[in-house]
Amino acid sequence: MPRKRTTTTQAADANGARAKSRLPKGLKNADLVDYYTRLIQVRSIDERIWALNRQGKVPIAASAQGHEAAQLGSLLAAEKDGDCFLFPYYRDLALKVAAGLTPAQTMMSFMGKAGDPYSNGRQFPLQGADLPNKIIQISNVVAAGLTQAVGYALGCRMAGEKTVVLVYFGDGATSQGETHEAMNFASIHKLPVIFICENNRYAISTPKTSQMAIEEFSDRASSYGFPGITVDGMDLVSCYEATREAITHARSQGPVLLEMLVERFMSHTTDDDDRRYRPEGEVERARERDPVVTLARTLIDEKILTQKQVDAIAAAALKATDEATDIADASSPPDESGLHDMVYSP
Amino acid sequence: MPRKRTTTTQAADANGARAKSRLPKGLKNADLVDYYTRLIQVRSIDERIWALNRQGKVPIAASAQGHEAAQLGSLLAAEKDGDCFLFPYYRDLALKVAAGLTPAQTMMSFMGKAGDPYSNGRQFPLQGADLPNKIIQISNVVAAGLTQAVGYALGCRMAGEKTVVLVYFGDGATSQGETHEAMNFASIHKLPVIFICENNRYAISTPKTSQMAIEEFSDRASSYGFPGITVDGMDLVSCYEATREAITHARSQGPVLLEMLVERFMSHTTDDDDRRYRPEGEVERARERDPVVTLARTLIDEKILTQKQVDAIAAAALKATDEATDIADASSPPDESGLHDMVYSP
Amino acid sequence: MAVKSVIEAVREAIREEMARDPKVFVMGEDVGIRGGVFLATQGLAEEFGNDRIIDAPLAEASIMGIALGAAFRGMRPIPEVQFSDFVWPSINQLIGEAARSCYGTHGALQVPMVIRMPYGGGIRGGLFHSQNVETHFFHTPGLKVVAPSTPYDAKGLLKSAIRDNNPVVFLEHKKTYRLVRGEVPDDEYTLPLGKADIKRTGSTITVVSYGLTLHYCLEAAEELASEGVDVEVVDLRTLTPLDTETILESVKKTGKLAVVHEDNITGGVGAEIAALAAGQAFEYLDGPVVRICGPDVPTMPFAQTLEDAYMPSPDKIADGLRKLAAY
Amino acid sequence: MAVKSVIEAVREAIREEMARDPKVFVMGEDVGIRGGVFLATQGLAEEFGNDRIIDAPLAEASIMGIALGAAFRGMRPIPEVQFSDFVWPSINQLIGEAARSCYGTHGALQVPMVIRMPYGGGIRGGLFHSQNVETHFFHTPGLKVVAPSTPYDAKGLLKSAIRDNNPVVFLEHKKTYRLVRGEVPDDEYTLPLGKADIKRTGSTITVVSYGLTLHYCLEAAEELASEGVDVEVVDLRTLTPLDTETILESVKKTGKLAVVHEDNITGGVGAEIAALAAGQAFEYLDGPVVRICGPDVPTMPFAQTLEDAYMPSPDKIADGLRKLAAY
Ligand SMILES: Cc1ncc(C[n+]2csc(CCOP(=O)(O)OP(=O)(O)O)c2C)c(N)n1
Ligand SMILES: Cc1ncc(C[n+]2csc(CCOP(=O)(O)OP(=O)(O)O)c2C)c(N)n1
Ligand SMILES: [Mg+2]
Ligand SMILES: [Mg+2]
């Protein structure tokens, strides 16, 4: 694995319009179809919860729109590897859902209903843990998960396992002291941790230039003596391949920093209005590289699916989202008698 | 100022024995004599407080022995500049004393007597602030001073001043998250701050290899986009010159990271016993490069002083230390009625 | 006088003090063009420039440490913590350093700094956007702690806090931001730190509270009034300095004390008020000291049902007061 | 039975639990070859290797966060904070994260972790090596808090803490480390968390304390005994869970309560004990609840004179008890 950043061809020629996924190495067509199916499901849920927020049914949501290729590309690599554990962050809706939640479980989480798989309605949607799908994110305190991920990797090593830990965070999180501490410890102990920065150049309204004085965050890896790579986070295959490589490296040699350049299509959360601070047209331009559209186009161009099949997948996803919404809407919130449960573990 | 590290010739050929100061650029002979006078005074006090600790009169002390060239070299540069402010750390005994304390004031601080100029007996010796000498170090919490120093520089800029802030810390402090945060903020705002790491390769017993996975700490500067320099911290002139350059750079272009390679001659503090963890002979070898001895040799070799003059300076220092000890010993501790004073400022 | 919301009062106080004193500046996450996530600094970057309304990197420890350093240089920083839940990474600079800078230098250094933070729950914020953090500051000598309940108090106290030469933690209950509105004088005014305010006089029970729950206490007091029980409601306004005199006087008058807050009951501010009465008004107490407070559950679940179960409410308070009255 | 010091008891407890369970490991600054600055882990790196006695970088936040992550994986970490004064940079991981991991995942995650830290003053540690930090943890639901006073208690409680599935803050008063010695059984034993211990039975006054000042209370009780006043001394041993039953029973028996601790008085643990009595033993109280505690001064000056002025002492305690007895 090179110690310096690589840019994918995709990133290099991506001037927005008409970007197109390359065909993957080591992925079967069936993988791509599966990926697309999940991607479109996730997007459909993502759009729905935003609408449900406006209807007063979902108190808060952070959208993954624009980050999906990064989240699903890396997830796919982790799944192919088979022995990875994930510490995502609050924007990783696509990752968390695609990792194994049903649409109904997801909707229950967003509405704070009993049976929310992450926290049983105690936390913000999809905060907590989903151990069956090998995911922990106990809080949305920015950067707090990084040292925990490193510790998890340490615990795995102590237990004699070869698990690689993927920990996700935004460009804003790079400023936190704990991000430094986590990378430093991981480098000293050569722990199998992949630090994945989903860099969308904004922390709420704060632009990257107010967050760091360097061009590429991945450059910071060299100050810990491990490799840092920047990839086009709008491109599924780049994200998949870079993560696969990183997993191999991490398991044998220690940490890797993977910066994925993504776009935030929506406001920071449903509570935010990005028109206050984003230049006009920026989001529209970014949307021309929408990973959902891009992948659909590739599947059709490469004759893996027909337009009709693509439409059918989208229709099925929409239907699943509709059903999930109804189920969640009709289900009960946690009973107030449970307020005191599990303050302590038995 | 180069963006990459420079090693002084001194550092390059310093294999311990017979190291010798180069003659300085831009320093007068009188400066060197003044420097030597302060150096020997500081050393004499440093040795005395260790002895006083063993007699039960000084509860705790951290020695600067081996760090003096770094501390006084940079201090001298700051003094020559005339518009610098210092945020030292607990090991900067030599710096703090040479910056303007009398030996008696110093001793009062170590004995926790009323009139201790730093905290009036409230804190560990020489912790607090010495504003007349442009020094603040409010605590000995490792790395807590770095962001404060950056904030001080920001305040100076807001007030329309050109002050350059020098902040000092050890290699252990590099691991703290706040060190990252301080350097990051300073780089974004291009603040005139010089981060001076007195790298003695130990944090109490913890060796540098357990603290970082890189060879030279100064390499980390590149991840903030500012220059990092490593100099031989046992060599007065290297430290002086590097700091002078850094001050010029900082004032016009923003932060600089200055790593000074030093040796800790004594145990971590009077409470520590470094024989538990340091390889035999290491300290003895390090002492062959003692900055006090080295400078005396230079002064004599270059015929700036005679051996006799050097001896006379040493004798005067010892006498001053004796007198200061007596004064401090005879003076009163703070009255207990003052316990509640200044919890709040009026 | 115009009717304003708490957030408007806060914004006005900052604006006026910035106009009055060029040393005052704001630093925090998204305080600039965004105007803060609650819009406390809306429009101020335009008015005062980005050098005095500084968008900080996402790193609370440095926000606090840098503000502290600037205060050492004589500036009057107002660092903003976006939600009180995120103050923890900065707490060493606050509890360890800022609170002790004056004491530890025997007065050589002052820390004229106001640390603003929205706190508290009842807004579906879940575990990490609802926290009550006041006790940690209340228990730290060297800090002052302010927790206003009304727009009038918020403005007057914030202006005093900014002019104070000590680190002041200024706690704004985020549910009051838009919910609580009230008259705010057009003319300049300040309110002294350290003075509680009797928001309702009464003779049979003293209720001590602050922030959001103060309003719930007033509602409960109304309810009890209709039942013939005359409740005095003391609004602490500042937790430190604590106005022990007003509290003790009221307790001595009524003989019965209840303390209400949203923060976890054990070791909360209410414990201190109870201990104060048990220690210094013992002879006057006609009944046990009652605490109606948040339960000992990590603050505070997201689901509406659980949040309601956690929160003190006018009904829960009225119940408690009723029992105490009957004692 | 052999007579041992507190530090020896602590070391033995760690050693035995590490031998018993390979999942137990220690991480902290200088815990390895140096054996910790107080030598709590002396010899353990040699015995268990550097993979289980890990010399951490100087970065408390990561020590805590990494320990927490390892606990998620089923390990049983014992992070050491070198002095409690340095716990602040790590407090988000402790108060914000560890304390809420179980609650916030509805029990999916456990945190079997013991955070050891030397705390307290009276050793010329000055402002930054003397701090009492217990209140911050005491006020955090989700944490358990232990503060033993004797070698016997320290060993038995530490072993239980290590076997507990929750984050336990284990506070070792550094002045007791070598000063306090006592019998420790040769055979394996544990002591339950959540049980106070009546270290001296008496009938006229209840004194509640913990840690170093517990011994001062016993001294004061002896002095008062010689004056005919019979003092009961309750050692809390664990602050959370708080043994309210033992406290209330004792207060109901004696009718008078004093609380003693070194930590700042306002909002300290003593306030909760006082509030507890004022709320639940009101009818039994024959006098005001007295608190003999550290003053509201940032802990604690370096000069001997000032440190003495700060510290509760047997004399100061005896004075307070004498007055209460005379009430
Ligand atoms: C410690 C902390 N401080 C502040 C916040 C409030 N906050 C939530 S998200 C966010 C911005 C994060 O930006 P980034 O890391 O770039 O992630 P993105 O949302 O862009 O994916 C902020 C400031 C928080 N959750 N935690
Ligand atoms: C936050 C914090 N953690 C731990 C300590 C205890 N401690 C004091 S000095 C020290 C080692 C510092 O090493 P380094 O930064 O290399 O400075 P040096 O003493 O070698 O000059 C430690 C761990 C402290 N003072 N502050
Ligand atoms: Mg971002
Ligand atoms: Mg060092």
Q: Closest Cα to residue C168, out of C76, C103, C83?
A: C76
- Whether D191 shows a pLDDT value over 60: the answer reads yes
pLDDT for position B18: 39
| Helical spans, DSSP H, in C281-313 | 304-310
Query: What angle separates helix B177-188 from helix B144-158, to the nearest 10 degrees?
Result: 20
Measured between alpha carbons, how far is A114 from D156 in angstroms, rounded to an integer? 40
Q: Closest Cα to residue C8, out of C146, C194, C181, C237?
A: C181
Measured between alpha carbons, how far is A58 from A168 in angstroms, rounded to an integer? 24
Q: How many helices (H) and strands (E) does chain A have?
A: 11, 9
pLDDT digit string, tens, across residues B164-218: 999 999 999 999 999 999 999 999 999 999 999 999 999 999 999 999 999 999 9
Q: Closest Cα to residue D136, out of D191, D88, D184, D175?
A: D88
Give the CA-trace dihedral at D205, D208, D212, D218, to 10 degrees. 20
Interchain proximity B121–D306, CB inside 8 Å: yes
Average pLDDT of every residue of chain C: 98
Q: By the 8 A CB rule, do C237 and C208 touch?
A: no
- Whether A164 shows a pLDDT value over 70: the answer reads yes
pLDDT for position B12: 36
**Which residues of chain B lie closer than 8 angstroms to D295, CB-CB?**
339-340
Would an 8 Å CB–CB cutoff place D101 in contact with chain A?
yes
Shortest-distance ligand to the CA of residue B145: 2
Average pLDDT of every residue of chain A: 93
pLDDT for position A23: 64
Q: Map residue A149 onto helix, strand or coil.
A: helix
Phi, psi of B296 (to 5 degrees): -60, -45
pLDDT digit string, tens, across residues D31-59: 999 999 999 999 999 999 999 999 999 99
What is the predicted ipTM? Answer: 0.97
Q: With cut-offs at 50, 70 and 90, classify the pLDDT of residue A24.
A: low
Chain A, chain D: beta-carbon pairs less than 8 Å apart: 141
pLDDT for position A26: 75
Tokens 């046992």 locate to: B234
Of B138, B159, B188, Cβ closest to residue C73? B159
Measured between alpha carbons, how far is D253 from D250 in angstroms, rounded to an integer? 5
Name subunits touching C (3+ CB pairs < 8 A).
A, B, D
pLDDT for position A184: 98
Name subunits touching D (3+ CB pairs < 8 A).
A, B, C
**CB proximity under 8 Å: C 45-64 to B:** 51-52, 56-57, 59, 61-62, 64
Average pLDDT over residues A15-27: 55
Give me the percent of chain A exceeding a pLDDT of 90: 92
pLDDT for position D218: 98
Q: How many helices (H) and strands (E) does chain C have?
A: 13, 14
Measured between alpha carbons, how far is A170 from A199 in angstroms, rounded to an integer? 6
Contacting residues for B293 by C-beta, under 8 A, at least 6 apart: none
Q: E strand or H helix at A185, and its extent?
A: helix A177-188
- Whether D129 shows a pLDDT value over 50: the answer reads yes
Measured between alpha carbons, how far is D186 from A302 in angstroms, rounded to an integer? 76
pLDDT for position B211: 98
Rounded to the nearest whole angstrom, what is the distance from the C-alpha of residue B170 to the centroid of ligand 4? 5
Q: With cut-offs at 50, 70 and 90, classify the pLDDT of residue D1.
A: confident
Active site residue D261: no
- Whether A1 shows a pLDDT value over 80: the answer reads no
Give me the percent of chain C exceeding a pLDDT of 90: 99
Q: With cut-offs at 50, 70 and 90, classify the pLDDT of residue C1.
A: confident
pLDDT for position A27: 83
Domains of chain D and any CATH numbers: 2-184 (3.40.50.970), 197-326 (3.40.50.920)
Closest ligand 2 atom number to CA of residue B140: 25
Q: With cut-offs at 50, 70 and 90, classify the pLDDT of residue B26.
A: confident
**Residue list, CB under 5 A from ion ligand 3:** A 170-171, 200, 202-203
**CB proximity under 8 Å: C 183-212 to B:** none
Would an 8 Å CB–CB cutoff place B127 in contact with chain C?
yes
Rounded to the nearest whole angstrom, what is the distance from the C-alpha of residue A172 to the centroid of ligand 1? 6
pLDDT for position B24: 66
For residue C165, give Cα distances in angstroms to B160, C156, D272. 22, 16, 31
Peptide bond into C241 cis (omega under 30): yes
| Helical spans, DSSP H, in chain C | 6-20, 44-48, 60-72, 91, 99-104, 134-138, 151-163, 176-179, 212-225, 244-254, 269-280, 304-310, 314-326
- Whether C26 shows a pLDDT value over 90: the answer reads yes
Q: Closest Cα to residue D158, out of D5, D1, D15?
A: D15
Q: With cut-offs at 50, 70 and 90, classify the pLDDT of residue A13.
A: very low
Q: By the 8 A CB rule, do B142 and B133 touch?
A: no
Of B176, B214, B222, Cβ closest to residue A177? B176
Average pLDDT over residues C121-127: 96
Residue A232: is it exposed, middle or buried by C-beta count within 10 angstroms (0-12/13-18/19+)? buried
Q: What tokens were used for C47?
A: 């008015």
**Residue D211 CB-half CA count within 13 A:** 27
Residues with CB under 6 A from ligand 2: B 91, 140-142, 169-173, 198, 200, 202-204, 264, 268; D 29, 58, 60, 82, 86, 89
**CB proximity under 8 Å: B 164-183 to C:** 177-178, 181-182
pLDDT for position C254: 98
Q: E strand or H helix at A199, and its extent?
A: strand A193-199
Measured between alpha carbons, how far is C113 from C168 in angstroms, rounded to an integer? 6
- Whether A21 shows a pLDDT value over 90: the answer reads no
Q: Which residue of D has its CA nearest to B114?
A: D303
Interchain proximity D128–B123, CB inside 8 Å: yes
pLDDT digit string, tens, across residues C31-84: 999 999 999 999 999 999 999 999 999 999 999 999 999 999 999 999 999 999
Phi, psi of A177 (to 5 degrees): -55, -35
Query: What angle separates helix D60-72 from helix A177-188, to the nearest 10 degrees?
Result: 70
Shortest-distance ligand to the CA of residue B91: 2
Measured between alpha carbons, how far is A39 from A41 in angstroms, rounded to an integer? 5
Task: Report the DSSP pairing between strands B206-207 and B202-203.
Answer: antiparallel
Q: Which amino acid is at B25?
A: K
Measured between alpha carbons, how far is D35 from B245 in angstroms, rounded to an integer? 42
Question: Pocket of ligand 2, candidates B142, B179, B195, B270: which has the most ligand atoms within 8 Å of its Cβ, to mutate?
Answer: B142
Contacting residues for A171 by C-beta, under 8 A, at least 6 apart: A197, A198, A199, A200, A201, A202, A203, A208, A211, A212, A217
Question: Pocket of ligand 1, candidates C31, C86, C88: which has the most ligand atoms within 8 Å of its Cβ, to mutate?
Answer: C86
pLDDT digit string, tens, across residues D236-250: 999 999 999 999 999
Would an 8 Å CB–CB cutoff place D305 in contact with chain B?
yes
Q: By the 8 A CB rule, do C44 and C26 touch?
A: yes
Interchain proximity A155–D59, CB inside 8 Å: no
Average pLDDT over residues A117-132: 98
Of D56, D86, D302, Cβ closest to residue B124? D302
pLDDT digit string, tens, across residues C222-262: 999 999 999 999 999 999 999 999 999 999 999 999 999 99
pLDDT digit string, tens, across residues B65-86: 999 999 999 999 999 999 999 9
Interchain proximity C95–D88, CB inside 8 Å: yes
- Whether A11 shows a pLDDT value over 90: the answer reads no
Measured between alpha carbons, how far is D190 from D169 in angstroms, rounded to an integer? 17
Rounded to the nearest whole angstrom, what is the distance from the C-alpha of residue B88 to the centroid of ligand 2? 13
Q: E strand or H helix at A169, and its extent?
A: strand A164-170
**Residue C261 CB-half CA count within 13 A:** 34
Q: By the 8 A CB rule, do C193 and C241 touch?
A: yes
Task: Give CA angle at B314 (B310, B318), nearest 5°.
Answer: 170
- Whether B156 shows a pLDDT value over 50: the answer reads yes
Average pLDDT of every residue of chain B: 93
Domains of chain A and any CATH numbers: 9-227+247-330 (3.40.50.970)
Q: Which residues of C are catalytic?
A: 129
